[in-house]
Amino acid sequence: MTTLAVVGVTGAVGRTMVSLLGERGFPADRVRLIASARSAGTSLDTWLGEIEVEDLARVDPRGVDIALFSAGGDTSREHAARFVDAGAVVIDNSSAFRMEPEVPLVVVDVNDQAAGEHRGIIANPNCTTMTLMMAAAPLHETAGLVSMVATSYQSVSGSGQQGVTELLDQTEHFAGDVDSLMRGGWHEPGLTVYPRPIGFNVIPFAGDDAEAGYTSEELKLVHESRKILDLPDLAVEPTCVRVPTLVGHGVVATLRFERRVGADEAVSVLVSAPGVSLWKDRVPTPLDSAGTDEVLVGRVRETIGEPGGINLWAVGDNLRKGAALNAVQIAELLV
Active site amino acids: 127, 249
Do the strands 276-278 and 295-302 form a parallel or antiparallel pair, or are they unpaired? Answer: parallel
Beta-bridged to residue 238, according to DSSP, are: 150
* Other CB atoms within 10 A of residue 272 CB: 10
What Rg do the C-alpha atoms of the chain give, in angstroms? 20
DSSP codes joined into one string, 307-319: TT-EEEEEEE-TT
- 13 within 8 A of 70, measured Cβ to Cβ: yes
Q: Residue 4, class by beta-carbon neighbours within 10 Å (0-12 exposed, 13-18 middle, 19+ buried)?
A: buried
Whole-angstrom CA distances from 221 to 173, 205, 215, 224, 249 are: 33, 14, 10, 6, 13
Which is nearest to 324 in space by CA: 285, 291, 296, 297? Answer: 291
The C-alpha atoms of residue 49 and residue 300 are separated, in whole angstroms, by 45
DSSP codes joined into one string, 18-29: HHHHHHTT---S
Count helices and strands in the chain by DSSP H and E runs: 9, 15
Give me the phi and psi of 193, to 5 degrees please: -95, -45
3-class SS of residue 85: helix
